[in-house]
Structure 1
Amino acid sequence: MADAIIEFRALGLAYERAGVRTVILSNLDLAVARGEFLVIVGESGVGKSTLLRVLIGLAAPSAGTMRLATRPGCRTPMALVFQDARLLPWRRVIDNVAFGLEGSGLSRAERRAKAAAMLGVVGLSDLAGRWPHQLSGGQRQRVAIARALAVDPDVLLMDEPFSALDSLTREGLQDEVQRIQAETGKTVLFVTHDIDEAVTLADRVVVLAGNPGRVVAAMRVDLARPRLRRDRALLEAAHRLRAELSRDSAEL
């Protein structure tokens, strides 16, 4: 892929504990285009989250190569949003968002100004002075997204960020993250086990399967945005993806 911002070739990851070697990922090939919204789906334990951790440097691959074409000199090429918002309870919202900018050389006023701008992006400007315990689950996740955006990463990694939320809040945040991606042009890698969420969000869905995990299928979702969840074309895309997952599970 000529415009790839991320490229894995024959990537593998294994660890050894008590003399037993466990292989998590093997011979994994994947390229992600700049500005793409890529969703990774697969069963629990197949290595979806592990792949994000390899990207951000929290896990080291044991085989293969990884190439990143992020901006030269970019201080934080990638930022990761977890399933849990992981806000610091002793910091107000604006200072949670500014946390990743500490050590950047910006003054406190500059950090807070940038944090305030990112709270505006996620629609929480009026909550800047609140404490984390005063927020709903959905609001906390939006603060976590603002914190990730504040460091201006080239790639936004999202590890099942909405899975612990109720369905109404989840749908609202799905719409929000699509809007943010469209406005910022960020490359997004989003991990989920939810098929409907995958086709609602993705430009392209990649299926991980097997033991060890590897890419077994990919499907483009060439539907206009914003997407209506009960639109026939979207439902058909979800049906095709479920069929692909069932077929791959049966063959492995």
Structure 2
Amino acid sequence: MYSYETLIVESDARGVATLTLDRSEKHNAMSAKMIAELTQAAKALGADDSVRAVILTGAGKSFCAGGDLGWMQDQMAADPETRFIEARKLALALQALNTLPKPLIGALQGNAFGGGVGLASVCDVTLGADHLKMGLTETRLGLIPATIGPYVIARMGEARARRVFMSARLFDAAEAVELGLLARTVPVEELMAAAQAEVLPYLSCAPGAVAAAKRLTRDLGPRIDEAVIDHTIRALVDRWEGEEAKEGIAAFFGKRKPGWVQGG
């Protein structure tokens, strides 16, 4: 029923779908193709009446390493209008998952950086393997966690987000629980079983009521509408235009430290 190049989507007899990021050789970094397919998959799963709940996970060692390197290089070579269009595609993929009218359970292993933290933040419940490392690493490149920002702030709250939003430091699964990004941690070998256990209560609930209740939580929570999304896109495009992004990304691909790095 579902066929994608960068995703695997499977559904069982109960209507529990598993949406797996499937670029394990790239640590499931988000390419332009994956971003487009995430939007398609979210819309398809949302419209499928046989689907009662969705588990979001990643194949291989990592959940999601953030943006694909080739995608980043393309953005550096693009004009501002193209950058805006491409950033909007990522923002719309996140919004499609955030407004999915089905429970969305995240099951994260390995690493979740940048956009991977954004994906964790749009889940209704996010579980992490106890070895998980997370980080909003954009400022190391002279960029900012812009398009993922509304979802990260909604999940963590401003005060907790300030602890990790700007520093690009990595943090472990235990701190991710403290920050509100994860509901809890489990041993990696128990991760998918724990995600399945999170799904079970929903299978006793009226699907329409679950969808309405989820929609209401978003109506009552922080505003994430088209104006907010466009604001984050413009903020990101402005950073792409700046000298810091040019230096940060050139340093990254040149395997050197950018000029602003101080100390060890």
Tell whether the structures are fold-level matches, with TM greater than 0.5. no
Hey, which of these two has a bigger chunk of strand by percent? 1
Hey, which of these two has a bigger chunk of helix by percent? 2
* TM-score normalized with structure 1 length: 0.31
* TM-score normalized with structure 2 length: 0.30
User: Relative contact order (alpha carbons < 8 A, sep ≥ 6): 1 or 2 greater?
Assistant: 1
